[in-house]
């Protein structure tokens, strides 16, 4: 299942070639790397730095500045739960407590079985349908704890068969 | 053939619009009925989403909110012929929520197929650009100046003046950039516009480019908006195919290339200089001004930075004239404002009206009061850096100056309602916490001050020396306002100070036990 380090380096080189002549390409490169692997593999940092003529510290500095970039693989399913004001006004904190208890993890963590990651977001632009979440990039609005349970169950079932 | 409109807006999707769409296609096929399905944007009445519309002789008829289970019944009721059904709301344009709005910027959102250039053109699209191409660039800029349009991203700076500065820079590479970072909580008008009528933004940017002599544009879109990205990508491709973008814009010989750059979940990248850093592929650290981006912006070149709504309003102004737009509004707040109503509210969504509506009208006439049925105790206006306004001030008209006069700000036009169960000390704590999470780290009052602010409020909540800590908190807020380099550290104290001022009891009640 896992791509070997060699394959991975090959893929990263291909991505870098794709952005060769673009001005200020680092963010785009990182997005593409994360789309390919689910995170920014630590080994990719020096490759990227070398190709873009930057120091490793510069690349690392960019990766860590942005909340979106991950340095470790995420769970199979990523639940992003909005914690901003509009969602708070209709129970987002209770929903967050429920999600933490249900998954047994805190924000920025993944379940030990690797099934779910829980991530905070600060507004999904779906405030008129608060509380809002995204599960694997799909939006859900007016989410109650019961509805969240159903969504997680469904995701788990869809992923099922492998234990 | 009857056309059915099923919103593809991500808010509607979040309430099941895709499943409804699949169900109705299946049901129509089983009944051997031919229908054309259009995935439009949202009209912005989110309590009615998924709100479907059926074309009829009486105009478009709205049904909503529709669930999968309702679909067979709608066909049984012969909804394709406008049949009566419990979910039939009536002709969309006559529903009170829409009939009382003045939709200018949002004139096509929810109406057209957002990916279709033909649909866009059939609804008044590209008349503005055609006009602009026949005008002297300075005359285009002058038209924007005279319309009174001010930036809708938050700072409300006159758009035409900004453009004039870019126009006056010596010829050479110039850029037009669109700030689609929409980081403010409680706001979603940029998202709705991009998902519902992206070509108006594309046309607006093209007009800006023609007016100031730019050949390249970037849209900085937040990563949290994957659906907006998809629609915008398709619309840009369609505009290229039809020669509204590219080397020969509308046969004028003028060139304008446009691309999207995706953000990476940093609120500060909505601040324009941070956005430019991010566009250049760096950490989104705020730049010291001057120089202004209009003089030295992207890659060191003169650059227009405007919000989505600002740019999407430009085609209408060029098409209809400056006086038409300036004819709406009050005082120095000209034109219309797409307000976004959210939080604990019965009827949340997008309301576009001329400036000047009172908060009470927005919250009660449009919003129908709180969603919980309890009294609305406070609203936060203008995102996470905006002040909290108490119920006693709900008669304030919503315009830039009137809100500033009560110590609030309009920002990007988001209004978030809270009922009387809200704990304002907790909301103040959240404001500081958010600032700590999102600080770019460049200056101390913001980076360290926000963390100190959280600690102090924790002490207050725990009842430790509340008087002393409230004084400390006030001094800290003052320091952050005075000493921060940009609006994040400089305005994060506003929600805190307003909470302390108007809801003091929430900070002291706990102190007694
Ligand atoms: C902390 C901070 C965050 C901001 N976020 C945004 C944003 O998400 N979108 C936006 O258009 N403007 C945002 N702004 C305002 C921009 O700096 C800038 O004024 C605006 O993009 C200019 O466009 P306009 O004149 O059309 O409003 C933000 C400002 C600050 C200080
Ligand atoms: S106020 Fe905060 S976000 Fe703004 S420049 Fe200073 S540290 Fe950065
Ligand atoms: S505040 Fe939660 S979606 Fe906007």
The domain that holds B429 is classified in CATH as: 1.20.1440.230
Q: Which of B270, B279, B281 to mutate to test the interface with A (most CBs of A within 10 A)?
A: B281
Same domain, B262 and B347: no
Which of B274, B305, B259, B295 lies closest to B172 in space, CA to CA?
B295
Instruction: Establish if B107 belongs to a structural domain.
Output: no
Over residues B103-139, the pLDDT tens digits come to 999 999 999 999 999 999 999 999 999 999 999 999 9
Distance from CA of B363 to the nearest CA of A (A): 13
Over residues B45-97, the pLDDT tens digits come to 999 999 999 999 989 999 999 999 999 999 999 999 989 999 999 999 999 99
Same domain, B271 and B197: yes
pLDDT at B342 over 80: yes
The arithmetic mean of pLDDT across residues B33-43, rounded, is 97
The reply to whether B466 touches chain A by the CB within 8 Å rule is no
Ligand 1 binding residues, C-beta < 6 A: B 151-155, 157, 159, 179, 181-184, 268, 270-272, 305-307, 310, 486-488
Provide Rg for chain B, Cα atoms. 24
pLDDT at B233 over 60: yes
The arithmetic mean of pLDDT across residues A104-128, rounded, is 98
Reduce the DSSP state of residue B84 to 3 states and report it.
Answer: coil
Same domain, B9 and B133: no
Gap between the Cα atoms of B377 and B316, Å rounded:
38
**CATH classification at residue B253:** 3.40.50.11540
Gap between the Cα atoms of A12 and A18, Å rounded:
10
Instruction: Establish if B108 belongs to a structural domain.
Output: no
pLDDT of residue B1: 85
pLDDT of residue A160: 55
pLDDT of residue A162: 44
DSSP B418-443: EETT--HHHHHHHHHHHHHHH--SSS
pLDDT of residue A1: 44
- Give the closest residue (by CA) to ligand 1 atom 18: B272
pLDDT of residue A20: 85
pLDDT of residue B508: 82
CB B324 within 8 A of CB B195: no
DSSP B142-211: HHHHHHT-B-TTTT--BHHHHHHHHHHSPSS--EEEEEE---STT--HHHHHHHH-HHHHHHHHHHHHHH
Query: Side-chain half-sphere of A86: how many Cα atoms within 13 Å?
Result: 36
Over residues B199-226, the pLDDT tens digits come to 999 999 999 999 999 999 999 999 999 9
On the question of a cis peptide bond just before residue B291, with omega within 30 degrees of 0, the verdict is: yes
What is the distance, to the nearest Å, from the Cα of residue B344 to the centroid of all Cα atoms in its chain? 19
Q: How many domains does chain B have?
A: 4
pLDDT at B287 over 50: yes
pLDDT of residue B511: 44
pLDDT of residue A4: 74
Q: Which atom of ligand 1 is nearest the CA belonging to B486?
A: 31
Gap between the Cα atoms of B281 and A28, Å rounded:
8
Instruction: Establish if B100 belongs to a structural domain.
Output: no
Query: Which residues, in sequence order, are bridge partners of residue B4?
Result: B37, B54
The reply to whether B8 touches chain A by the CB within 8 Å rule is no
Q: Which of A61, A69, A128 comes nearest B264 by C-beta?
A: A69
**CATH classification at residue B360:** 3.10.20.600
For chain B, percent of residues with pLDDT exceeding 70? 99
Gap between the Cα atoms of B99 and B92, Å rounded:
8
Which of B201, B197, B256, B191 lies closest to B227 in space, CA to CA?
B191
The reply to whether B414 touches chain A by the CB within 8 Å rule is yes
Q: What domain range includes position B398?
A: 329-419
pLDDT at B512 over 50: no
Gap between the Cα atoms of B259 and A22, Å rounded:
12
CB B156 within 8 A of CB B410: yes
Same domain, B401 and B498: no
Q: Which of A54, A62, A127, A138 to mutate to test the interface with B (most CBs of B within 10 A)?
A: A127
Same domain, B19 and B136: no
Instruction: Establish if B362 belongs to a structural domain.
Output: yes
On the question of a cis peptide bond just before residue B65, with omega within 30 degrees of 0, the verdict is: yes
What is the distance, to the nearest Å, from the Cα of residue B492 to the centroid of all Cα atoms in its chain? 20
Give the pLDDT band (50/70/90) at residue A3. Answer: low
Same domain, B185 and B273: yes
pLDDT at B22 over 70: yes
Contacts of B98 (CB under 8 A, 6+ apart): B43, B45, B92
Same domain, B122 and B86: no
pLDDT at B510 over 70: no
Decide which of B62, B95, B128 is a domain's last residue. B95
Same domain, B415 and B382: yes
- Crossing angle, helix A56-65 and helix A26-37, to 10 degrees? 70
Give the pLDDT band (50/70/90) at residue B230. Answer: very high
Joined tokens for residue A50 = 């070398």
- Give the closest residue (by CA) to ligand 1 atom 22: B306
pLDDT of residue B94: 96
Instruction: Establish if B105 belongs to a structural domain.
Output: no
Pairwise CB contact (< 8 Å): B187 & A142 = no
Instruction: Establish if B401 belongs to a structural domain.
Output: yes
Give A71's contacts in chain B (Cβ within 8 Å). Answer: none
What is the distance, to the nearest Å, from the Cα of residue A35 to the centroid of all Cα atoms in its chain? 10
With a CB-CB cutoff of 8 Å, which residues 41-100 of chain A face chain B? 61-62, 65-69, 84-90
Same domain, B244 and B316: yes
Same domain, B316 and B352: no
Give the pLDDT band (50/70/90) at residue A21. Answer: confident
Q: What's the whole-number average pLDDT of chain B?
A: 97
Instruction: Establish if B109 belongs to a structural domain.
Output: no
Which of B23, B26, B17 lies closest to B65 in space, CA to CA?
B17
Over residues B134-193, the pLDDT tens digits come to 999 999 999 999 999 999 999 999 999 999 999 999 999 999 999 999 999 999 999 999
pLDDT of residue A163: 36
Same domain, B411 and B440: no
For chain B, percent of residues with pLDDT exceeding 90? 98
Gap between the Cα atoms of A72 and B322, Å rounded:
53
Scanning the structure block, which residue is given the tokens 């036009």? B413
pLDDT of residue B272: 98
Same domain, B386 and B434: no
Decide which of B95, B125, B142 is a domain's last residue. B95
With a threshold of 0.95, does the pTM exceed it?
yes
Instruction: Establish if B181 belongs to a structural domain.
Output: yes
Distance from CA of B281 to the nearest CA of A (A): 5
pLDDT of residue B66: 98
């Amino acid at each position: 299942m896992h791509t070997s380090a060699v394959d991975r380096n090959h893929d990263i080189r291909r991505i870098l070639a794709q952005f060769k002549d673009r001005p200020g390409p680092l963010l785009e490169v990182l997005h593409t790397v994360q789309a390919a692997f689910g995170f920014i593999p630590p080994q990719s940092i020096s490759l990227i730095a070398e190709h873009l003529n930057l120091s490793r510290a510069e690349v690392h500095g960019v990766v860590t500045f942005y909340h979106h970039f991950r340095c470790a693989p995420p769970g199979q399913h990523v639940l992003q739960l909005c914690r901003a004001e509009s969602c708070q006004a209709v129970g987002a904190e209770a929903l967050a407590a429920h999600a933490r208890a249900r998954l047994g993890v805190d924000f920025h963590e993944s379940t030990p079985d690797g099934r779910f990651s829980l991530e905070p977001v600060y507004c999904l632009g779906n405030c008129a349908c608060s509380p809002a979440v995204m599960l694997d990039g799909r939006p859900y609005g007016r989410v109650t704890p019961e509805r969240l349970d159903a969504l997680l169950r469904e995701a788990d079932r869809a992923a099922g068969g492998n234990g | 053939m009857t056309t059915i409109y099923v919103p593809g807006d991500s808010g509607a999707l979040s309430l099941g619009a895709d499943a409804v769409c699949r169900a109705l296609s299946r049901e129509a096929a089983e009944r051997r009925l031919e229908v054309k399905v259009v995935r439009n944007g949202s009209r912005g009445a989110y309590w009615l989403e998924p709100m479907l519309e059926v074309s009829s002789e009486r105009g478009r008829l709205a049904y909503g909110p529709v669930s999968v289970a309702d679909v067979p019944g709608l066909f049984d009721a012969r909804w394709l012929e406008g049949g009566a059904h419990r979910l039939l709301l009536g002709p969309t344009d006559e529903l009170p929520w829409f009939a009382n709005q003045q939709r200018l910027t949002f004139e096509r959102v929810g109406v057209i197929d957002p990916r279709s250039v033909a649909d866009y053109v059939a609804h008044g699209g590209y008349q503005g650009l055609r006009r602009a191409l026949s005008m002297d660039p300075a005359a285009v800029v002058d038209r924007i100046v005279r319309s009174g349009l001010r930036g809708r991203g938050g700072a409300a700076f006159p758009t035409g003046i900004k453009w004039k500065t870019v126009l006056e820079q010596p010829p050479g590479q110039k850029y037009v950039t669109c700030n689609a970072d929409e980081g403010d909580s409680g706001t979603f008008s940029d998202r709705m516009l991009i998902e519902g009528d992206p070509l108006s933004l594309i046309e607006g940017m093209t007009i800006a480019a023609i007016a100031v002599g730019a050949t390249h544009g970037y849209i900085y879109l937040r990563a949290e908006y994957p659906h907006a990205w998809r629609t915008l990508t398709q619309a840009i491709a369609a505009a290229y195919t039809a020669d509204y973008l590219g080397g020969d814009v509308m046969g004028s010989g003028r060139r304008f290339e446009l691309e999207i750059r995706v953000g990476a979940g940093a609120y500060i990248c909505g601040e324009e200089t941070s956005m430019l850093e991010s566009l250049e592929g760096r950490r989104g650290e705020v730049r010291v001004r001057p120089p202004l981006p209009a003089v030295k912006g992207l890659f060191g070149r003169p650059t227009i930075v405007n919000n989505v709504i600002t740019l999407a309003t430009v085609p209408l102004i060029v098409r209809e004239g400056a006086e038409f737009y300036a004819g709406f509004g009050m005082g120095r707040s000209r034109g219309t404002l797409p307000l976004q109503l959210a939080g604990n509210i019965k009827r949340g969504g997008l309301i576009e009206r001329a400036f000047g509506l009172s908060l009470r009208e927005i919250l009660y006439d449009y919003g129908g009061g709180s969603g919980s049925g309890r009294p609305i105790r406070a609203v936060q206006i203008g995102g996470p850096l905006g002040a909290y306004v108490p119920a006693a001030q709900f008669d304030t008209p919503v315009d830039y100056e009137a809100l500033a006069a009560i110590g609030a700000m309009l920002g990007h036009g988001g209004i978030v309602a809270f009922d009387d169960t809200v704990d304002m000390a907790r909301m103040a704590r959240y404001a500081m916490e958010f600032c700590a999470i999102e600080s770019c780290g460049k200056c101390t009052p913001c980076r360290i001050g926000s963390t100190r602010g959280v600690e102090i409020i924790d002490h207050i909540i725990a009842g430790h020396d509340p008087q002393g800590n409230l004084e400390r908190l006030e001094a800290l807020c003052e320091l952050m306002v005075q000493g921060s380099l940009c609006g994040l550290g400089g305005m994060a104290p506003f929600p805190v100070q307003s909470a302390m001022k108007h809801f003091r009891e929430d900070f002291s009640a706990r102190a007694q036990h």
